[in-house]
Structure 1
Amino acid sequence: MPTDPPLPRIFTRSDALAAGLTRHAVAHRLATCRWRTIGRGAFCLQQQWDAADARSRHVLHVLAESRYDEGLVISHESAAAVHGWPVPWAGYSLATFTDGRANGKNLRSAHRLVRAAPLAAPDVVAREGLRVTSPARTAADVLRHLPASESVAMVDVALRLGQTSRAAIDEVLRRQAGWTHVPRARLAREWLDPRRDSYLESSSFALLASRGILPPLSQVHVYDAAGRFVGIVDGLWLPEGVVGECDGRSKYDLDVIGRLDPVEARRQILREKAREDALRSTGLGVVRWGTYEVRHRLDDLATTVRSALARGGLTRFTGQLRWSSSPTDLVDLRRYPPSSGS
């Protein structure tokens, strides 16, 4: 099979001809599906497409659409994809850009969305030769336009990677005062926590916060009365002393267990059961849930969490809480006094 000359990630017929391929060679590659059509008159290698995940495929679409106007800046969830943030639960829709030159309405076509909005100099950065909104501007934009269940999960990753900071996001939101959905963004900003280490954690606690349940402390290290390590919990509500584990129950689901070796499935169930028992033995309450509960039974989950919080209290807790494995990095429980109803 003849090899291709060096080509960009996204290329056109003209690019291929300029690289030395003949018109017949171009037609043959398209007919034999060695190249894949991306957008209008643009292509990528089929093997590149096959190896790409959802985020990388969206970036390829964005690259194809960006060829038509070099003045546009990749923005919103498309910028998030370029920065390497998680894929939204709902997936990607159109390639999204911001036009800082425009004063009119947003422009939508079958392949892309162009938003008309001012772009300050710090709002635009270069990534692999692309003009893309900065992480801080991207964070502010997704917090404004996406549901908190998606935007908080994306921005948590940006904060954890050190790509931006709360202060930088706040500065962008200050400049966006009066823009669409800024109040929504400011509310969701209060739910951010870079200590979380999964999309489900971030999304779960944002959704529960939208139901009036404030986010718990994240990634707290729990030790028992003898100083033995019990585990790192996804969330811990204080002063109620209730653990939120937002991936635990999925390990019991039959569809998950059915894909495992039976011996390993049994070991996994026993490990999770032993861990939960150890947490409860310290006097902490435990609530577990998986993706199904978050996406399809959120109100029931919120009711369960509220009930656990109402029953909770640190008076029964016999262990120790730390922010890390260091014995001196203690969670100061004096900062979380019991409420009058506890």
Structure 2
Amino acid sequence: MPIPGEFKADPFTVAEARGAGLTWESLQTRAWRRMSRGQYAWTGLRHDVELILRAVGKRLPERGAFSGRTAAWIHGLDVLPCEPIEVTVPRELAVRSRSGVRLRRASLPDRDVTIHRGFRVTTPLRTACDLGSCADTVEATVALDMALHAGMVDMRALNRHVDSSAGAKGIKRLRRAVSLAEPRSESAMETRLRLELIKAHLPAPEAQIDLHDRTGKFLARADLYYRDVRLVVEFDGQNHKERLVPDLRRQNALVNAGYLVLRFTAGDLRTRGTIALQVRQTRAWLLRKAAQSRLSEHFEAQTPVSRDYPKISRPKPPVSRDYPRGFPVAP
């Protein structure tokens, strides 16, 4: 039996299949893939995230929308959208949950919903605020950093939302995450590294700072930077072998220009306190070194060095004229 044209693009229900003349037996052939209970898709369609979300989307209630990490993925963020699929529905709707779908009941006004890439989804601002109000401050800040860096939202919009939502559920958690957010952060692990330092009550480092040598030549962009002590703190991902030589040359150039570089990995982040201790000790050593240098320069400035040394007269030994007989005397 030929494939009905309307089934070559999207998943469909058993009822829709029967309306198109397909029987239950025909749906059990290799031409069709079961997506969920009572829902199928043509096997000619690529079985990917979009197909899975389109299948779930067909069963969304009229006023429901994809939200959370699922919405973030639809808006273009590099997150896992289906672990689980997140959906928000208005509180007053009676909707049954489904396997693999996390159903959230919350206020969902029309202004917080949009259509993007064919999906009914929470707006970028609502999505960012939902993610930023989760109980885990680190992961909430990671999500906000990703949204800010991608241009999905900006700090002004987030601050306006926080200021206008006093007393709302989760607003204290969101306010905390917004206060920690850094739009220049370029990766989730970089954000986690920065927050590890802040949690240890170290000064907040600057993010993504261009570094130059004394002639002004660009050397590198630091993940995190302490300007007061010229300390670079970086996260090392799983670098390929072809990146090893350029990375070593880059680090050598920084060291030769007077910067000190500390590099950490995911393993360091998993060992509680390791990173903060090393950074604290290194900062303390650099601060002591800088203080000693300033003190030395101060004393040198207070003690002028003169090249006109005074002449020192040494007393001459007494000369006796009572020379012994036969002793030669100079004329």
Aligning the two structures, in what range does the TM-score lie when normalised by the shorter sequence? 0.7 to 0.9
- Tell me how far apart the structure 2 counterparts of residues 126 and 214 of structure 1 sit (CA, whole Å): 42
Q: For residues 9 and 183 of structure 1, do their structure 2 counterparts lie closer, same or farther at Cα, with a shift above 3 Å needed?
A: same
How much does 1:141 deviate?
0.8
User: Is residue 103–residue 117 contact of structure 1 (8 Å, CA) maintained in 2?
Assistant: no
Instruction: List per-residue Cα deviations over 1:268-317 (Å, max 9, x = no partner).
Output: 333222211221222222111122222x214212222222233335997x
Higher relative contact order (CA 8 A, sep 6+): 1
Any residues of structure 2 matched to 1:172-321 within 5 Å, and which?
A: 172-247=161-236, 250-251=238-239, 265=241, 268-294=243-269, 296-312=270-286
SS at match of 1:71: coil
Comparing 279-288 and 39-48, the one that deviates more? 39-48
How much does 1:210 deviate?
3.4
Q: Which residue of 1 aligns with 2:85?
A: 95
Q: Which residue of 2 aligns with 1:332?
A: none
| Normalised TM-score (structure 1) | 0.71
| Normalised TM-score (structure 2) | 0.73
- Tell me how far apart the structure 2 counterparts of residues 67 and 211 of structure 1 sit (CA, whole Å): 46
Q: Which residue of 1 aligns with 2:39?
A: 42
Structure 1 residue identity aligned to 2:257: T
After the TM superposition, which segments of 4 or more aligned residues of structure 1 sit over 6 Å from their partners?
1-4
- Tell me how far apart the structure 2 counterparts of residues 121 and 87 of structure 1 sit (CA, whole Å): 25
Q: For residues 213 and 22 of structure 1, do their structure 2 counterparts lie closer, same or farther at Cα, with a shift above 3 Å needed?
A: farther
Q: For residues 272 and 128 of structure 1, do their structure 2 counterparts lie closer, same or farther at Cα, with a shift above 3 Å needed?
A: closer
Pairing 1:140–2:137 present? no
- Tell me how far apart the structure 1 counterparts of residues 17 and 204 of structure 2 sit (CA, whole Å): 53
Instruction: List per-residue Cα deviations over 1:85-110 (Å, max 9, x = no partner).
Output: 1215xx75332222234399x98654
Equivalent residues, number: 289
User: Is residue 234–residue 243 contact of structure 1 (8 Å, CA) maintained in 2?
Assistant: yes
Instruction: List per-residue Cα deviations over 1:54-104 (Å, max 9, x = no partner).
Output: xx36x724741661422212222222122121215xx75332222234399
RMSD, matched Cα: 3.4
Gaps of 5+ in 1: 257-264, 317-342
Gaps of 5+ in 2: 291-331
How much does 1:175 deviate?
4.5
User: Is residue 241–residue 314 contact of structure 1 (8 Å, CA) maintained in 2?
Assistant: no
Q: Which residue of 1 aligns with 2:106?
A: 117
How much does 1:143 deviate?
0.8
How much does 1:135 deviate?
0.8
User: Is residue 196–residue 276 contact of structure 2 (8 Å, CA) maintained in 1?
Assistant: no
Q: For residues 161 and 190 of structure 1, do their structure 2 counterparts lie closer, same or farther at Cα, with a shift above 3 Å needed?
A: same
